[in-house]
């Protein structure tokens, strides 16, 4: 078995892993590798064709308002593609272009199967190789880990990564389970092609009026729902308070049972959009402390049990706020790089640019105040 050793190993070549790598490159960390089980931007490659980033891209970088989907201060996916809402393939191509331009050391097709902690760091097992690392950044995201077992019979349902394209699946009537972004995305694309869709949801996310897009539906999705309601009234039926408890299939039809005693029948496999699990939970849960099934992070985004193991990505939590968008978790790329730089006794002053541009936000109290000072109630009704 081959053995190699690095100062820093980053697991996962999505926006989180690559963004951290760029911040580390900025301060001159040389002994670094990014290991990726598939290929750069794999999660985005698996998105259904019609799916778009809900966060808009706009190249406003020179004015210190970096494109919301950029992984570094000087790149803009919006500028690269001349598009505001990029497809998964476009975003993966942006990530690939970043890897090429900055010559990031990514090893594709290299899946980490096991991690051990040693006296001087960690040992990662990949196929026929062990990699030693002083620091590890876990950045495997959530999209590779859909929650496939939320209720009995969930395995009979279809999930977005299996779909390929909403245009090409058979049927005219569908049931979507889950009313957040993924469920709404499926409902929108199915309705737009002329199908009838029922959305069953435990709560009523479409009614939540919270300024934080991690809590309520994004403006992009609210706009799409309004557009489809005008163009094809009744094509999407939103049914809140319908917690699905079981799905069965009797050969001909699927039956979907809800907690309130109701049931729905569908000739097509229901679309399961009940969410994803953190990679850290599925892969390295024993390396992190957990509080009521939520991961606990130090003030520099490391494990509280293993200080040289960091996490970057959408499962990051601070002050009860989830950093689940790129523009949120990228605010910590510089923090992680700065901390690793300090421990390696490197000069980290070159991160000042990252700080100015919102990629090194140390005061995480920023994340608890998402409130917009102007409320909807103050806007004239005619405009809404």
Residue of the chain from 4, 25, 49, 54 that contacts ligand FAD (CB under 6 A)? 54
Q: Which is nearer to ligand FAD, 280 or 351 (CB)?
A: 280
324 near ligand FAD, judged by CB under 6 A: yes
Q: Kindly indicate which of the ranges 137-145, 233-241, 287-295, 375-383 contains the residues binding ligand FAD, using the contact rule CB under 6 A.
A: 137-145
* SS3 category, 41: coil
- Cβ at position 345, least distance to ligand FAD in Å: 28
Q: How far apart are CA 361 and CA 327, in angstroms?
A: 11
Place of tokens 């980290």: 348
User: Contact between 67 and ligand FAD (CB under 6 A)?
Assistant: no
**Residue 274 binds ligand FAD (CB under 6 A):** no
The interface with ligand FAD within residues 94-133 (CB under 6 A) comprises 111-112
Tokens of 110: 């290299």
By CB under 6 A, residue 140 contacts ligand FAD:
yes
Query: In this structure, what DSSP letter does residue 274 have?
Result: -
C-beta separation of 271 from 166 below 8 A: no
Q: Which residue has the tokens 């004015």?
A: 63
Q: Exactly one of 21, 27, 33, 37 binds ligand FAD (CB under 6 A); which one?
A: 37
Q: Which is nearer to ligand FAD, 143 or 174 (CB)?
A: 143
d(CA 336, CA 354): 12
Token output for 371 = 């409130």
Minimum CB separation of residue 376 from ligand FAD in Å reads 23
Choose the binding region for ligand FAD from 51-59, 197-205, 239-247, 253-261 (rule: CB under 6 A).
51-59
d(CA 234, CA 201): 17
We find the least distance from the C-beta atom of residue 253 to ligand FAD, in angstroms, to be 28
Residue whose entry in the numeric block shows the structure tokens 């090429």: 100
Q: Whole-angstrom Cα distance, residue 182 to residue 160?
A: 8
**Sites for ligand FAD among residues 168-197 (CB under 6 A):** 182
How far apart (Å, rounded) are the C-alpha atoms in residues 25 and 102? Answer: 9
Token pair of 304, please? 């509280």
Q: 314, 323, 331, 367: which one contacts ligand FAD (CB under 6 A)?
A: 314
Provide the 3-class DSSP secondary structure of residue 271. strand
Contact 202, 273 (CB under 8 A): no
Stretch touching ligand FAD by CB under 6 A, among 7-15, 149-157, 170-178, 342-350? 7-15
The residues binding ligand FAD (CB under 6 A) are 11-17, 35-38, 42-43, 53-55, 111-112, 139-144, 182, 276, 279, 283, 313-314, 324-326
């Amino acid at each position: 078995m081959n053995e190699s050793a690095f100062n820093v190993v980053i697991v996962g070549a999505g926006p989180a892993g690559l963004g951290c790598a760029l911040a580390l490159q900025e301060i001159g960390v040389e002994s670094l590798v990014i290991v990726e089980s598939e290929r750069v931007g794999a999660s985005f490659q698996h998105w259904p064709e019609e799916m778009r980033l809900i966060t808009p891209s706009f190249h406003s970088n020179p004015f210190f308002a970096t494109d919301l989907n950029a992984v570094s201060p000087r790149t803009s996916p919006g500028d690269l593609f001349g598009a505001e809402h990029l497809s998964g393939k476009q975003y993966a191509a942006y990530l690939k272009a970043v890897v090429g331009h900055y010559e990031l050391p990514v090893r594709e097709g290299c899946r980490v199967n096991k991690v051990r902690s040693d006296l001087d760091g960690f040992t990662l097992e990949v196929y026929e190789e062990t990699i030693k690392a002083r620091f590890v950044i876990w950045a495997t995201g959530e999209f590779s880990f859909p929650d496939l077992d939320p209720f009995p019979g969930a395995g009979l349902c279809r999930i977005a990564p299996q779909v390929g394209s909403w245009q090409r699946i058979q049927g005219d009537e569908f049931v979507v389970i889950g009313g957040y972004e993924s469920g709404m995305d499926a409902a929108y694309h199915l309705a737009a092609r002329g199908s009838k869709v029922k959305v069953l949801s435990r709560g009523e996310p479409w009614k939540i009026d919270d300024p934080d897009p991690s809590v309520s539906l994004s403006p992009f999705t609210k706009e799409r729902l309004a557009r489809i309601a005008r163009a094809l009234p009744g094509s999407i039926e939103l049914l809140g308070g319908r917690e699905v408890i079981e799905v069965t299939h009797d050969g001909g039809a699927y039956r979907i049972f809800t907690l309130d005693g109701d049931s729905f029948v569908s000739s097509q496999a229901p679309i399961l959009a009940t969410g994803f699990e953190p990679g850290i939970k599925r892969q390295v849960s024993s390396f992190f402390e957990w509080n009521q099934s939520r991961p606990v992070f130090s003030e520099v985004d490391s494990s509280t049990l293993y200080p040289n193991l960091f996490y970057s990505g959408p499962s990051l939590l601070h002050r009860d706020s989830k950093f689940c968008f790129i523009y949120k978790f990228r605010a910590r790329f510089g923090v992680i790089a700065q901390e690793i730089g300090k421990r390696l006794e490197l000069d980290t002053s070159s991160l000042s640019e990252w700080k100015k541009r919102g990629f090194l936000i140390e005061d995480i109290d920023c994340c608890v105040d998402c409130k917009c000072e102007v409320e909807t109630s103050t806007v004239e009704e005619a405009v809404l």
